[in-house]
Amino acid sequence: MLTDITAARDAALTQIAAAATLDEVALLTTRLAGKKGELAQLKTKLGALETVEEKKAAGQAINEAISTVGDSLDTQREVLSSAALAEQVESERIDLTEFTKRPARGHAHLVTQAWERLEDVFIGLGFQVVEGPEVETDWHNFEALNMGDGHPARGEFDTLFVDHIPPEGNAGETLLRTHTSPVQIRTMLESEPPIYIVAPGRVFRRDTPDATHMPVFHQIECLVIDRGITMADLAGTIEAFTKAFFGAGFNSRLRPSYFPFTEPSAEFDIQRPNGEWIELGGSGMVHPNVLRAGGLDPEEWSGFAFGFGIDRMAKERHGVEDIREMYTNDIRFIEQF
C-alpha cells in the first residue's frame, strides 16, 4: 500500500512539473488534490488493510502525499503566473527609443513674465500684492473714483457692460473693469491705513485693436495711504521702481496731467539709457473725494496712486512693434522672450 502511495505521489509530481499552462495546473488540482482526486481515492483501500497500525501508517502517508502534491501545485501555479505576467509585460512593451530627444520646455508668456517680475520688484520695495474682481460695479469703477454719472472722463473708458442686474442696483451698473483703480477703493474699504499695495490684473475696454491697443489688457495699480504723504514720495517711489525694474541706467519724470481720481495728476515717463523717453502710465495724489469714498478722512490721511499697462510696458521694453503680436500665439514670436 505504501509503495502505491509513493508511486501515485511521484506520478502526480511528474505531471505537475510537466504542466505548461495555468489551465493545466487547474485541471491537475481537481484531478490530483481534490476531495475525489486520485490520492484521496486511495483512502477507500484502507479498509482492506489488516492491522490498525497499517491503516494508521497508510492514512498518514496519504495525507502527507496530498500535502506534498498541494505544495507542488501552488509552486507551479506561482511559477506559471509570474511567467505569464512577464510575457504580458513584454508583449505590451512600447518601443520609445525613437523619442529619446527630450521635448522642449515651455516658459511663461512675455506678459506673465513681466507681471511676475513687477510683483517681485514691488514686494522688494515693501509693497503687498492684492487683487480685485474683474467684474465690477459702476460705483467702484467710476463713481467712487470721482467720476459721477455724466462725468466727461467716463468717455475715456469705452466700457463693456455685463448683462446682469445686481441684487441692489440697476441694469447697466455691472461692468468689466476698465482699469485697476477700483482696487484702490476696495482696499481702502477693507483695510486700515497705512496702506502700501500693488494690484496687478486684467482690464477691459471697447478699444479697437491696433499697434498699441488691445480690448483686453493688463494694468498694475500702486496705492500708498499714510500720514503726511506728498508728491515727493510719489516721485521717489516711481524713481526707485524705475531703477529696480528697468536698471540703474534708467530715469523717470512726471508730467502734469489730469485724472479725476488724483489731484494733482501726472503722467510718468521713463528714460532709456540712450536718452529716449517712453510714456508709462498715470499717477497723482489720491483725490480727497476718493479718500472719502474709501471711508478715510482726508484731513488725517493722504496718499498717492499710479497705474500703468503691463502689456504696453513689455512691448516697449522688448521693442515689440505691435502689441497684437503678443496675443497671436505664434510660437516663433513667443519663443523669443
- Per CB under 6 A, contacts with ligand FA5 among 184-213 are 205, 207, 213
Separation CA 164–CA 159 (nearest Å): 15
Q: For ligand FA5, which is the closer residue by CB, 37 or 282?
A: 282
Amino acid letter for position 290:
V
Least distance CB 294 / ligand FA5 (angstroms): 13
Q: For ligand FA5, which is the closer residue by CB, 213 or 317?
A: 213
CA atoms within 13 A on the CB side of 191: 15
Q: C-alpha grid cell for residue 87?
A: 510575457
CA atoms within 13 A on the CB side of 85: 5
Interacting residue with ligand FA5 among 136, 138, 173, 311 (CB under 6 A): 311
Q: For ligand FA5, which is the closer residue by CB, 9 or 205?
A: 205
Least distance CB 316 / ligand FA5 (angstroms): 9
The size of the interface with ligand FA5 (CB under 6 A), counted in residues, is 22
Q: What is the SS3 string spanning 19-57?
A: CCCHHHHHHHHHHHHCCCCHHHHHHHHHHHCCCHHHHHH
**Counting contacts by CB under 6 A, is residue 37 touching ligand FA5?**
no
Q: How far is CA 141 from the centre of its chain?
A: 29
Q: C-alpha grid cell for residue 10?
A: 511521484
Least distance CB 112 / ligand FA5 (angstroms): 16
- Interface characters, 153-182, with ligand FA5 (x: CB under 6 A): --------------------------x-x-
Separation CA 230–CA 286 (nearest Å): 10
- Per CB under 6 A, contacts with ligand FA5 among 280-309 are 281-284, 305-309
For residue 129, report the phi and psi dihedrals to the nearest 5 degrees: -95, 125
**Counting contacts by CB under 6 A, is residue 217 touching ligand FA5?**
yes
Q: For ligand FA5, which is the closer residue by CB, 77 or 213?
A: 213
Separation CA 323–CA 325 (nearest Å): 5
Residue numbers at the binding site for ligand FA5 (CB under 6 A): 179, 181, 205, 207, 213-214, 217, 219, 221, 259, 262, 281-284, 305-309, 311-312
